[in-house]
Structure 1
Amino acid sequence: MDLTLSDEQRMLRESADRFVTETYNADHRKRSANDPRGFSADIWKQFADLGWLALPIREDHGGFGGGAIEIGILMEAFGRGLVSEPYLSTVVIGAALIAECGSEAQKQALLPQIADGSLYLAFAHSERQARFDLADVKTTAKKTPDGWRLDGHKTAVLDGHAAGQIIVSARVDDGKLCLFLVPQGAPGLTSRDFPRLGGGRACNLDLRDVRVPADALLGDGSDALPAIESVVDRAMAALGAEAVGIMQTLLDQTLEYTKIRKQFGRPLSANQVIRHRLADMAMQCDEARSMALRAALMADAEPLARARAASGAKAKIGKCARFVAEQSVQLHGAMGVTDELDIGSYFKRLLAFDTLFGGSAHHYRRYAALGGRAVQT
């Protein structure tokens, strides 16, 4: 198998690396953190100008038709820069759900708006009792003479407070899981937003007698669970690439620090035990990179192979990320937890990664279950 990047993919990587190095600096991160939305609209406009928002969207809907590999290249760069813009929620998840489930009219209306940066999306699916089970949804959708009535609660909706449209999952009368477009500020929709660990914001949603028109239903009302599972598996592959970017940055910064930090007249890196730790960190980074790449390569495979690749990557990268983050903080000593360095911020982002869509323990169980093995809880 040829794993070398194409010329277009190399150009994308160079463009993303240049953006993170030259444009998205600490001042931008601080301004994004202080913005009530948790991100910068100016940076989002630059994403649109660079074509990144249109990257995975099909050409006949105003995009470039990129795949999971291209998304992974971008997300790895975003990890190195601690980018907090809502790329995952709007482009990786939101646009994909519309492409998978929406009618042709909905695709033509919404996907070009995502590509040009004028529409933010969020996916409201997780519920408190679900514990990362994508099929466990209690929110209901009742048919009314003029549309639908939604009732339920959603937790940890990424960037939901800033989304123009929120894609809400709900059970209809026949038990099928369907998706509905709910505009921000709809009567009966209550949002309570909060800062996310490591940057960005999320919110909890209450839906009480929320009325939406008939065309708010995405697609023809078919069961959306297979599409949700597919999109979430792709999102985990993208998150894995982001985690790899963070881990590599922690390794690079720690390596540099141990070269200049002296103890008893010698740099820390002169000690063999420190070199062993750095070597272990490098090995964990390479293992995580391999798993993220495998998940991206399997993103369009048949459902069982795709799901096992995604869960395997999420479980393995979660363990590798924690090891690299903890070693980085420890080797920096007290400096590792101060605001003077970004080490703590990268650590927090990796902790957030481990909980999104389920931690390592959850995905080890899912991986085993998909393989037909008995799983001990």
Structure 2
Amino acid sequence: MTMLLSQEQELLKDSAMAFLSEQAPVAQQRKLRDDKVAQGFDAHLWQQMVEMGWPVAVLPEAHDGLQVGYLGMGAVFEALGRQLAAQPLLSQAVIAPELLIRAGSSAQQAHWLPRLASGEARIALAVDEKSGKHLHPSMATEVVKGANGQRLNGEKFFVFDGAGADAFIVAAGPLQALTLWMVPADAAGVNVQPMQMLDSRNVARVLFDNVVLTPDMALSAESARKALDETLDRARACLAAESLGLLREIFERTVAYMKERVQFDVVIGSFQALQHRVARLYAELELLESCVLAAFEAIDAGRESDVALYSSMAKARAAELCEKIGNESVQLHGGIGVTDELDLGLFYKRARMLQRMLGDASFHRDRYATLKGF
């Protein structure tokens, strides 16, 4: 087992760090929030990322991808977390293409993959529902068969990058007999409603009211659940990597503040009790990094059983630390930690969203135990 980045992956990591620090600083996310940009990201900046090849970074060469591996892509997501960069990389470079490659027909792949790679189109995955429970067994969205064919009914919540998407890959239940459908956003009966979330990102509620389904809209019925699980595991690992980058940035900003803030005529960083708290956080961040790297290494090595285990392990630990380090950083900053002027608040809000995206800590602890046979 090796977790060292190849030369190509190192170049991708370095270019991502340099590009995002220069072109997508935290101030840009604040501006996107204040300007209430509906799509939640800078379209010009996204096109630059497209030209750099990020949307095809992990795709196989058979689909015109760069095939640099998820260890390299993970470094990009860590950089996104550090800069708090709001971009649709997860939905467009991981979720949509991975699902199309695993379950899409040749016609679907030929139509959508080049458009995703060029930034010409965007696809969003619609899977979770109002309960807030990730992959809830009682999925209510269903396909109804009638004399006039099949129709899709239901509603999906927390659809990442849903506002402005050209199409949705929709999961219809029940979960044990799940099917996936490629539904154009402009199809009759599709209603997209942006949701106001804590981190001001692009999240939507999507309603499907008697949407007519045709055979060419169906993704593979035989491998739908397997394709979804494998794709989501890759997405979870990427979210854990983004969390790692974000939490490292929070940690480093907090330590820097503790070296400057003077109380009782001394810097608060000299207080041993606070040093102990920070030391524990540092150790937990190192453990999270090991979990994230293990998940990416398993993906690149093609060990699918380990991918599921390590992705849930990484996501569970990341979710726990998003709450713990977020809370500790606010407390260690004191009163200024809850003011909007301090960028810390933007990181804190994003951490709270990452904590729950694609399953919270409880979901993934339970999933890990189930996979281990408990």
TM-score range, shorter chain: over 0.9
Q: How far apart are residue 331 of structure 1 and its match?
A: 0.9
The equivalent residue for 2:239 is 239
142-151 vs 53-62, which moves further? 142-151
Is this contact kept in 2: 1:160–1:203, CA < 8 A?
Answer: yes
The equivalent residue for 1:15 is 15
* CA–CA separation in structure 2 for the residues paired with 1:240 and 1:43: 23
Q: Which runs of 5+ in 2 are unaligned?
A: none
- Identical columns (%): 32
Equivalent position amino acid for 2:369 in 1: A
The equivalent residue for 1:310 is 311
The equivalent residue for 2:142 is 140
* CA–CA separation in structure 1 for the residues paired with 2:322 and 2:133: 22
* CA–CA separation in structure 2 for the residues paired with 1:57 and 1:5: 17
Equivalent position amino acid for 1:346 in 2: F
Structure 1 residues 334 and 259: alpha-carbon distance in aligned structure 2, compared to 1, 3 A threshold: same
The equivalent residue for 1:331 is 332
Q: How far apart are residue 198 of structure 1 and its match?
A: 2.1
Structure 1 residues 348 and 130: alpha-carbon distance in aligned structure 2, compared to 1, 3 A threshold: closer
SS of the residue 1:186 aligns to: coil
148-157 vs 128-137, which moves further? 128-137
The equivalent residue for 1:217 is 218
Structure 1 residues 171 and 261: alpha-carbon distance in aligned structure 2, compared to 1, 3 A threshold: closer
The equivalent residue for 2:56 is 54
* CA–CA separation in structure 1 for the residues paired with 2:166 and 2:349: 28
* CA–CA separation in structure 1 for the residues paired with 2:336 and 2:149: 57
Equivalent position amino acid for 2:354 in 1: F
* CA–CA separation in structure 2 for the residues paired with 1:226 and 1:241: 23
Is this contact kept in 2: 1:152–1:207, CA < 8 A?
Answer: yes
The equivalent residue for 1:127 is 129
Is this contact kept in 1: 2:10–2:72, CA < 8 A?
Answer: no
Equivalent position amino acid for 2:298 in 1: M
Of 37, 44, 47, which residue of structure 2 is paired with 1:45? 47
Structure 1 residues 101 and 95: alpha-carbon distance in aligned structure 2, compared to 1, 3 A threshold: same
Q: Which runs of 5+ in 1 are unaligned?
A: none
The equivalent residue for 1:76 is 78
The equivalent residue for 1:254 is 254
Equivalent position amino acid for 1:200 in 2: R
Q: How far apart are residue 313 of structure 1 and its match?
A: 1.4
Please, what is the CA RMSD of the aligned residues?
Answer: 2.0
* CA–CA separation in structure 2 for the residues paired with 1:129 and 1:80: 31
Structure 1 residues 276 and 130: alpha-carbon distance in aligned structure 2, compared to 1, 3 A threshold: closer
SS of the residue 2:87 aligns to: coil
Please list, as runs of the form range in 1=range in 2, the aligned pairs for 1:256-271 lying within 5 A after superposition: 256-271=256-271
SS of the residue 1:273 aligns to: helix
Q: How far apart are residue 50 of structure 1 and its match?
A: 1.1
* CA–CA separation in structure 2 for the residues paired with 1:163 and 1:227: 21
SS of the residue 2:55 aligns to: coil
TM-score, normalising length from structure 2? 0.93
* CA–CA separation in structure 1 for the residues paired with 2:207 and 2:93: 24
String of CA shifts for 1:227-269, please: whole Å, max 9, x gaps. 1111111111000000000111011101111111111221111
Q: How far apart are residue 127 of structure 1 and its match?
A: 2.1
* CA–CA separation in structure 1 for the residues paired with 2:96 and 2:84: 21
* CA–CA separation in structure 1 for the residues paired with 2:132 and 2:21: 40
The equivalent residue for 1:112 is 114
String of CA shifts for 1:92-145, please: whole Å, max 9, x gaps. 111111111111222122111111111111000112358223654332224578
TM-score, normalising length from structure 1? 0.92
* CA–CA separation in structure 2 for the residues paired with 1:27 and 1:359: 28
* CA–CA separation in structure 2 for the residues paired with 1:303 and 1:13: 25
Structure 1 residues 135 and 114: alpha-carbon distance in aligned structure 2, compared to 1, 3 A threshold: farther
* CA–CA separation in structure 2 for the residues paired with 1:72 and 1:49: 19
